[in-house]
Structure 1
Amino acid sequence: MNKKRLLALTLGAMMSVTLFAGCGKKEAASEKKDLKLTIYCGLMEDHMVKAVKEFEKDTGVKTEAVRMSSGEILGRIRAEKENPKASIWFGGPADGLVQGAEEGLLEKYVSPNAKDLADKYKDKDGYWSGIYVGYLGFASNQKLLKEKGVEAPKTWDDLLKPEFKGQVSMANPGSSGTAYTALATVVQLMGEEKGLDYMKKLHKQIKTYEKSGTAPARLAGQGEVMVGISFLHDGIKYREEGMKDLIMTAPSEGTGYEIGAVGIIKGGPDQEAAKKFVDWCLTKKAQELGQTVGSYQFLTHKDAQPPKLAEELKSTKLIEYNLDWAGKNRSALVEKWNKAIK
């Protein structure tokens, strides 16, 4: 074989290897580019949009999110159990995720970043991880209160005063994680019998049961009711957005709270992308995003700086809210509530 022919064969072989290697790189890049993620989200919409945008920017994973209340998310995941359309449950009280795990709807995943969360903020089996904490209370319209000569409610019993008849809004515990937290709080505080009796009395004071847990604070801010039972950070959000008549109070005998959480939906598509999202949610940077778009919850990452506007809520008296019990008894308790208010 002459030297020219040998050189030609050698160059051909090298080009083949280079092309093959280049093709492999393109395929790998394509695989990474093609990662997609669908999220069912219980956060406020502006917080959801910001989180999706930043996660895409940080990871390159194409992401879509659908905003729903916690009860709606749980119902959707149940309905899609045999063919899940989404891979992440993002935001809303962890009670819902506890129930989802009980029903076999969530995947276990312990993120390496979970080490930066206290044990109370994460599921011991890895079904959910906490990303924020919100306190339950009353968002009241001080202009309406002044007109009626009534003080803002400072206890659960205050809501039963004649002056508040038809002037209280809360969400439906069947659809809303916020409202379920209120129901579970009252039952844990008073006992089941007295708690359900209280909810029956409160029913007579309610103007509307909303689908979303953020709506009662907004309705109070708009002057449509005197009091909304809501998470207090939602009331602060609406006040900062211009509803200046809103004032926040919490029941002096104690109130419940949410651990807003993230979890992976069992059998959902793009599990690799789902794990990336959970990892990202547990970072200091991701947790501090909320306050840039009006979400003023306390945070779970040990180094994350909570919003300054949450400072006013620090003195809120909290009960020892049993999250595990609340999650495992959700369906039964909502059913008992339905019967109690009829």
Structure 2
Amino acid sequence: MKKILLCIVFMGFLTGCAVHTTVTEPESEPSVSTGRPEPAYDRLSIYSALPEEEILVYLNAFRKDTGITVDCQRLSAGEMIERVQQERENPRVSVILGGAADHYVQANEEGLLIPYQSPELSNVPEPCLDQAQVWNPIYIGVICFACNEDWFLQKNLPYPTCWDDLTAPELEGQIVLASPETSGTSYTMLAALMQQRGEEKAWEYLQMLDANVGCYTHSGIEPVEKVKQGEFAVGIVFSHDGRRAALDGYPVMLCYPEDGTGYEIGACALVRGGPVKERENAERFIDWMTSQRGQECYIEAKSSRLPANSTARSADGLPAMKDIKTVEYDLEWAGSNRTRLIDEFQRRFPGAQTRKSLS
């Protein structure tokens, strides 16, 4: 099985409602030449698990560079894979974008993806690559605690510095996280805890954590929104989502578990059986998302994602890897056991379904 801990070392630092998005530009604005002819067909359809405000930046830049308009439906990572499963006999999109690679491992095992490797992957450290040569790595993210500074100041309480701190009685009802059923963020947390503690002890811990959870959301982005607005004290999120809120001026402090945390390799891939007329554009889109140009758009989008492409610049102020303790995360194991672990989570925490956000 493949472990991705090494890719972080190679890098040296680390940094639901569906929303339909169609990017359009003025007809008079010329596209930037990329050394390739204008597309014979100028549209592409995708599903994406990335935040809507980020997607708009990337799709606008892609259209300026290529002349291709992208029709995108925003879903959480889990919902995105479920939608592709449901449509396997008649796929409606050509590409899935974003979400942790373990989702793509599962999707490939189910025959939902077509192998395609961008030539840009020559700039990606080998440990971050897909051994099956199906999905393409585009970023790296780490799980952290997004804390509302005002709440902790008012309560005169210290910020949580390890996973067990989240079970403190003072935080009863103050934790918000997404359901691993629909969220790649929370599934990464779930799989990381299983690998870090062993399954028996991890389930015991999650039972204690559940007692303090006031809300389970559909997507991994929602906890950040709720923490930054002061609805909850702590959200379990990917650091790039939490840092964006802090950069936007909200009272959000990011804390990294000192006892180790999980992380993801974000990916994109071709959907098997997608619209034939879009195939060339789909490959071109993946080439663009894996390129230096595409991944430097993370800076413009205020994403704070760590680019997988080693030639791409990253946002200033990202934490050094030496300052973050990570678990040895086996994404192949996480992908192969995803259905089993989610089913067990639902069995153990049926009440989580009634505490999901209605937003």
1:267 aligns with 2:267: no
Q: Which residue does 2:13 correspond to in 1?
A: none
1:278 CA displacement? 1.0
1:296 aligns with 2:300: no
Out of 191, 196, 200, the residue aligned to residue 193 of structure 1 is 200
1:331 CA displacement? 0.8
TM-score w.r.t. the length of structure 1 is 0.88
Preserved CA contact (<8 Å) 1:121 1:129: no
1:341 aligns with 2:339: no
Secondary structure at the counterpart of residue 134 of structure 1: strand
Secondary structure at the counterpart of residue 186 of structure 2: helix
Secondary structure at the counterpart of residue 326 of structure 1: helix
Structure 1: unaligned runs, 5 residues or longer: 1-29
**Counterparts in 2 of 1:233 and 1:31: CA distance versus 1, 3 Å:** closer
Q: Counterparts of 1:315 and 1:45 in 2: how far apart (Å)?
A: 30
For residues 163-178 of structure 1, what are the structure 2 equivalents within 5 Å? 163-178=170-185
Alignment root-mean-square deviation, CA: 1.6
Equivalent pairs counted in the alignment come to: 313
1:223-274 superposed Cα distances (whole Å, 9 cap, x missing partner): 111100001121110111121x211111111001011111110110122111
1:300 CA displacement? 0.8
1:142 aligns with 2:149: yes
1:31 CA displacement? 8.8
Q: Which residue does 1:110 correspond to in 2?
A: 117
Out of 81, 89, 93, the residue aligned to residue 88 of structure 2 is 81
1:64 CA displacement? 1.0
**Counterparts in 2 of 1:221 and 1:313: CA distance versus 1, 3 Å:** farther
Q: Counterparts of 1:312 and 1:247 in 2: how far apart (Å)?
A: 17
1:191 CA displacement? 0.4
Which protein has the larger Cα radius of gyration, Structure 1 or Structure 2? Answer: 1
Q: Counterparts of 1:153 and 1:313 in 2: how far apart (Å)?
A: 20
1:44-82 superposed Cα distances (whole Å, 9 cap, x missing partner): 112111111111221222211111100110111011100
Out of 287, 299, 303, the residue aligned to residue 279 of structure 1 is 287
Q: Counterparts of 2:94 and 2:243 in 1: how far apart (Å)?
A: 31
Q: Counterparts of 1:314 and 1:73 in 2: how far apart (Å)?
A: 33
1:314 CA displacement? 6.0
Asked which structure has the greater RCO (Cα within 8 Å, sep 6+), the reply is 2
The one-letter amino acid paired with 2:75 is M
Moved more, 211-220 or 308-317: 308-317
Q: Which residue does 2:220 correspond to in 1?
A: 213
Q: Which residue does 2:262 correspond to in 1?
A: 256
1:292-319 superposed Cα distances (whole Å, 9 cap, x missing partner): 1210011111111111032377621111
The one-letter amino acid paired with 1:297 is R
Secondary structure at the counterpart of residue 207 of structure 2: helix
Q: Counterparts of 2:281 and 2:71 in 1: how far apart (Å)?
A: 12
Q: Which residue does 1:127 correspond to in 2?
A: 134
Q: Which residue does 1:48 correspond to in 2?
A: 55
Q: Which residue does 2:14 correspond to in 1?
A: none
| Bigger fraction of residues in helix | 1
Preserved CA contact (<8 Å) 1:197 1:340: no
1:182 CA displacement? 0.8
Preserved CA contact (<8 Å) 2:38 2:67: no
Structure 2: unaligned runs, 5 residues or longer: 1-36, 351-359
Out of 301, 323, 329, the residue aligned to residue 331 of structure 2 is 323
Secondary structure at the counterpart of residue 45 of structure 2: strand
TM-score w.r.t. the length of structure 2 is 0.84
Q: Counterparts of 2:77 and 2:310 in 1: how far apart (Å)?
A: 26
The one-letter amino acid paired with 1:264 is L
1:60 aligns with 2:98: no
1:36 CA displacement? 2.2
Q: Which residue does 1:90 correspond to in 2?
A: 97
